[in-house]
Amino acid sequence: MSNAPSTDFVPNRKMEYRRLGASGLRVSVLSYGSWVTFDNQLKDDSALQCMQNAWEAGCNFFDNAEAYAGGESEAIMGRVIRELGWKRHHYVLSTKVFWGVDGRVPNMNNTLNRKYLHHSIEGCLDRLQTDFVDLLFCHRADPNTPIEETVWAMSDLVDRGQVLYWGTSEWTADEIRAAWEVAERHHLHKPVMEQPQYNMLERRRVEVEYKRLYEDIGLGTTIWSPLASGVLTGKYQDGVPADSRGALPGYEWLADRLVNDVTRAKVARLLPIADRLGCRLAQLALAWCTKNPNVSTVITGASRAAQVTENFAALDVIPLLTPEVMDEIEAALKG
């Protein structure tokens, strides 16, 4: 890898930095994540260029998970950040735990028990080459571990300084509220954020199920798959391209679930709106996600550095989404 030019973070005047729910932490409204791409599509040099492009666009939040590429995604991100020489207080780093990286060992996969959480954070920090992560997510709920055990263990990680804020990913509203109430009852560190899927085609959980949680407990959201795994770029309109995410081994389910006549019709109705605004459909879809005030940050992904630059150009589209345009988009989605 070659040395990158910019090590000091310079906020982009176009970028909005939103509070993560009721916390005081501020994250860029567009952020960058490594799901699918790191190791599968990007090795160190390409990942460096993607992260540097996001950084120069004003991104201060970078998302990962121990399960991504069996831990190699975290390792790549750790090496890249070291190579780039970023100052630790300039960026927000997250990872997620639940599935583990060794499915052969009891207590080390598909769990949120205290032992697993104790060991998993050590592995995450080692691969990321850092003393702490800003955000740690419980990647899924664990029906086989008492929620009190998980909440106490996560709160202990915060007390130990290995985690600054903890939260959940794809938990139900009832599960999130139950964890919050355990923490409230025992004066523990409460879950601050949730990482749900959210995009023009997948809206119920963020807009309906979690609605009470934003006001009641100050829940923040770091939403993933804002482009519906690429469907909202328009590239699946004529089938599944060979170089697309839906064509990767193990990810065929993405195309099977999302590429159908109904979604193609919605995309076809959205394309003229993007054309009239002078932007790409992907940029329209990313900008649309930011219009939800309960979205703290929109996690983008990219397999090429140029794609990162294109995605972050959605910052120019956000001001164009007037109430009238938002109504037009809503009508296109409803058909």
Residues contacting 57, CB < 8 A, separation 6+: 12, 15, 30, 308, 309, 312, 315
> CA-CA distance, 87 to 91, in Å (whole number)?
8
Q: Name the active-site residue from 68, 91, 198, 210.
A: 68
Q: Is 68 a catalytic residue?
A: yes
Q: Which tokens belong to 308? A: 């990162």
Q: Catalogue the long-range contacts made by 310-314 (C-beta closer than 8 Å, 24 or more residues apart).
A: 310/280, 310/282, 310/283, 311/30, 311/282, 311/283, 311/286, 312/30, 312/53, 312/54, 312/57, 312/58, 312/59, 313/279, 313/283, 314/30, 314/279, 314/282, 314/283, 314/284, 314/286, 314/287, 314/290
Exposed/middle/buried for 86, CB within 10 Å: 0-12, 13-18, 19+? Answer: buried
Q: Which tokens belong to 270? A: 């959205």
> CA-CA distance, 279 to 17, in Å (whole number)?
23
Which residues are known catalytic residues? 68
